[in-house]
Amino acid sequence: MSEVVAGRYVLIDRIGAGGAGEVWRAFDRRTRGYCAAKVIRHPEAATLVRAVFEQGVRLDHPHVVTPYAWAADDEQVLLAMPLVRGGSLAVLLRDHGSLPPRYGAEILRQLLVALHHVHTAGLVHRDVKPANVLLEPTGTGAPHARLADFGLVLTPDRPRVTGTFMVVGTRAYMAPESLKRGDQGVAQDLYAAGLVGTEMIGSTAGPLSSLLTTLTASDPAYRPRSAGQALQHLDDLLTGWPLQTPAMIPDADEPVEVFEQIGPLPSGWGPTGPASPAAETETVTLAGVGAGDSGAVGGSDGGVDSASATTVRVVTRSEPIGRPDITSAEFRVPSIPPGLAADGLQPSTATTAAGPLDHVRSLPVPTAAASPTPANSQRRWLLAAALAAALAAVSAIGAIVLVLR
C-alpha cells in the first residue's frame, strides 16, 4: 500500500533524490492529478515550509517551477509541484554533449526570462545549475525550460538557512565573490547562468561569446546589472537567427530530442489516477483541519494550522477511488443537534478536501438526554398542589381543636 501524506498525497514511486531530500511521483487527491512531491526532513520543518511556500507562490511563471501546496509535521516537509516530465538540462547534456548554438541560446534565453521574473519579485535563486533547469518533453521541437528547486530561494537580504539538507549553493557554479565573501545576490545568479550557457554551447558559441564572457566576468561590476539587461543583449544577438526545428544540428545524424524521462506508472495506476480496486482505511482531514496533532497542511489558498484541527472523519474505501457517480458534495459532516450548541459545539457544513469518496462511516453523534414531556410535567405539578392543600387542611383542623379546648 502506498504511503499517504496528510491524507492527500499518495507517494507512488521515487523519481529523484539528492542532498535536499527525495522527489516522488505522487497523486494529489484534491486536484485528482499527478504531481512531483519533494519530501524534505528537517527538525523545524513546519516553520521552514511556511517561509518557502509564501515566497514560492509569488513566482508563478511558465518558465518557473514552484510549489503549489505543502504539508508538514514536526520533522518532515512535503512540497507539491507540477510534474515536469522531460528530465533536467544536466541529463540532456549528458546524453548529447554540447548543444547546437541556437538551441542552447533558446534555453539560455528562457533561463534569463525566469531569472528576470524571480529578481523582479525581490528574490534570488542562488543555485542555478543544469540540474535545476527542467525540460518539458518537446521531442525534436523547440525546448521549453523551467527553472526549479525554489525550496532554497530566499530574499537577497536574508541569508540562506543551512543545515543537514540545505546548502549555500553548488560550488562549481558559484561566482568568485560568493566563494570569497559569501555574497549571493543577483550577480551570483547571472554568473551561474553564464556558466550554464557556456556548458551548453561550449566552443561553438560564435556570436554568443560576447554575452557569455560578460556574464562570467570575475568582477561582478563587469557583468550585466540585471537579468533583463542580459536578456536584451541576447535578444539583439538572436535577431535574424531563427530557431529551427526539428533539425537543430546541421548535417548531424540525430537532432536534439527531449523525451519523457519518467518511467511508466506502476501497476494499479492509470493516466487519471488509481486504476485498480483498493481497500484501505485512513484518516481524512477536511478543509480547516490539520494533518495531525503536530502537523499542518496548506495550499495556494492558504495554510491551516494544526491548532484548528478539531474535526476528523473515518473513511473506508473498498472500490476504485474517483467513482464518477459520486461527488464530494454528497458527503458532509453531520450537523450537531441544537441541544448541544450550548456546550460549544457548532453545526458543521464542511465537505471533504480529498475529493470523491465511496463509503463514509461517520462517527456517532451524541444526542441530548430526553427531557420530560409536557403531560408528565403537568401531572407532577397537580400532585404537588394537592399535597400542599392537604397539609394546609391538617394544620387548620389542629388550630381549631386547640381553640375549642
All three cell numbers of 394, joined, read: 391538617
C-alpha distance from residue 342 to each of 293, 337, 369 (Å): 26, 10, 14
N residues, the chain:
405
CA distances from 44 to 68, 69, 162 (A): 20, 18, 12
SS3 of residue 135 by DSSP? strand
Cell of 102: 541556437
C-alpha cell of 180? 570569497
Handedness of CA 108, 114, 117, 122 (dihedral sign): negative
**Count of C-beta atoms within a 10 Å radius of residue 226:** 17
Which residue is associated with the grid cell 560564435? 206
Question: All 3 cell numbers of residue 293?
Answer: 496533532
Instruction: Give the Cβ contact number of residue 136 at 10 Å.
Output: 18
* Class of residue 397 by CB neighbours under 10 A (exposed 0-12, middle 13-18, buried 19+): exposed
Asked if 335 contacts 366 with a C-beta cutoff of 8 angstroms, the reply is no
Measured CA to CA, the distance from residue 328 to residue 353 in angstroms comes to 8
The Cα 330–Cα 357 span in angstroms is: 9
Question: Which residues are registered as beta bridge partners of 18?
Answer: 21
Q: Would you call 127 a catalytic residue per the annotation? A: yes
> CA 349, CA 375: separation in Å to the nearest integer?
36
288 burial class (0-12, 13-18, 19+ CB within 10 angstroms)? middle
CA angle 153, 154, 158 (to 5 degrees): 155
* Catalytic one of 127, 157, 253, 358: 127
Indicate the DSSP class of residue 332.
B
Contacts of 133 (CB under 8 A, 6+ apart): 88, 89, 90, 107, 111, 145, 146, 147, 148, 196
Q: Which three cell numbers stand for residue 227?
A: 537579468
What Å distances lie between residue 100 and 6, 43, 205, CA to CA?
Answer: 45, 45, 9
Residues recognised as catalytic: 127
